[in-house]
Chain A
Amino acid sequence: MASLSTHPALAENTTPLARTAVAVRIEPPRGWLEVRLREIWQYRELLYFFVWRDVKIRYKQTVIGVAWVVLQPLLTMAVFTLFFGRLAKLPSQGLPYSVFYFAALVPWTYFSTSLQYATSIVVENQRVITKVYFPRLILPVSAVLSGLVDFSIGFVALAGVTLGYGLRPGIAALWLPVLLLLAVATALGVGLWLSALNALYRDVRYVMPFLVQFWMLASPVAYPSTLVPERWRWLYGLNPMTGVIEGFRWALTGHGQAPGAVMLASAAMVTVVLIGGLLFFQRMETTVADLV
Chain B
Amino acid sequence: MDNVVIHAEALSKRYRIGQREAPSGQLREVLGRALRSPLSVFRRPARETFWALKDASLEVRQGEVLGLIGRNGAGKTTLLKILSRITRPTSGWAEIRGNVGSLLEVGTGFHPDLTGRENTYLSGAILGMRKREIDRKFDEIVAFAELKKFIDTQVKHYSSGMYVRLAFAVAAHLEPEILLVDEVLAVGDIKFQKKCLGKMGDVARAGRTIVLVSHQLNQIRRLCQRVLWIDGGEIRRSGSTAEVVSAYEKEMLSSDALTQKGSVCGKAHFLKWWILDSEGNPTHLLSTGEELRMQFLLKINQPVHGLYHDIQLYDQNRQLLWGNAIPGVFLEPGLYVCDHMLPKLPLRPGLYTWRVTLWDGGETVADWDSIPEMHVATAPVAHPLDEKAGILNIPSECRISPCTTPIPPSRDR
A residues near B, CB below 8 A?
1-2, 4-5, 7, 9-11, 13-15, 17, 20-29, 45-46, 48-49, 52-53, 56-57, 60-61, 127-134, 200-203, 286-287, 289-291
Tell me whether B144 is interfacial, beta carbon within 8 Å.
yes
Q: How far is the CA of A56 from the CA of B121 in the complex (A)?
A: 13
**Given that A28-B89, A45-B125 are known contacts, is A56 also in contact with B118, CB under 8 Å in the complex?**
yes
- Interface Cβ pair total, 8 Å cutoff: 153
A1 touches B146 (CB 8 A): yes
Q: How far is the CA of A128 from the CA of B111 in the complex (A)?
A: 11
Q: How far is the CA of A289 from the CA of B130 in the complex (A)?
A: 24
Q: How far is the CA of A14 from the CA of B177 in the complex (A)?
A: 9
Q: Can you offer 12 A-B residue contacts whose CB atoms are under 8 A?
A: A4-B202, A9-B140, A17-B3, A22-B97, A23-B97, A26-B8, A29-B88, A45-B130, A57-B111, A57-B113, A131-B102, A134-B126
Contacts of A21 in B (CB 8 A): 97-98
Contacts of A9 in B (CB 8 A): 136-137, 140, 175
A201 touches B25 (CB 8 A): yes
Chain B min CB distance to A205 (Å): 10
B88 touches A27 (CB 8 A): yes
B27 touches A46 (CB 8 A): no
B24 touches A200 (CB 8 A): yes
**Given that A17-B5, A17-B97, A291-B20 are known contacts, is A4 also in contact with B198, CB under 8 Å in the complex?**
yes
Contacts of B34 in A (CB 8 A): none
**Given contact pairs A4-B202, A291-B20, a sample of 8 additional A-B residue pairs in the complex whose CB atoms are under 8 Å apart:** A4-B198, A23-B95, A24-B95, A26-B96, A45-B130, A202-B25, A286-B88, A289-B86
Contacts of A53 in B (CB 8 A): 111, 114, 118, 122
Contacts of B203 in A (CB 8 A): 10
Contacts of A132 in B (CB 8 A): 84, 86, 102, 104, 108-109, 126-128
Q: How far is the CA of A15 from the CA of B62 in the complex (A)?
A: 12
Chain B min CB distance to A231 (Å): 33
A287 touches B27 (CB 8 A): no
**Given that A15-B177, A201-B25 are known contacts, is A287 also in contact with B95, CB under 8 Å in the complex?**
no
Of A20, A26, A129, the contact of B82 (CB 8 Å cutoff): A26
Tell me whether B87 is interfacial, beta carbon within 8 Å.
yes
Find the A residue at minimum CB distance from B99: A20
A24 touches B96 (CB 8 A): yes
Interface centre among A4, A17, A23, A26 (most CB of B within 10 A): A26
B87 touches A289 (CB 8 A): yes
A28 touches B113 (CB 8 A): no
Of A17, A49, A130, A134, the contact of B98 (CB 8 Å cutoff): A17
Q: How far is the CA of A203 from the CA of B92 in the complex (A)?
A: 35
Tell me whether B91 is interfacial, beta carbon within 8 Å.
yes
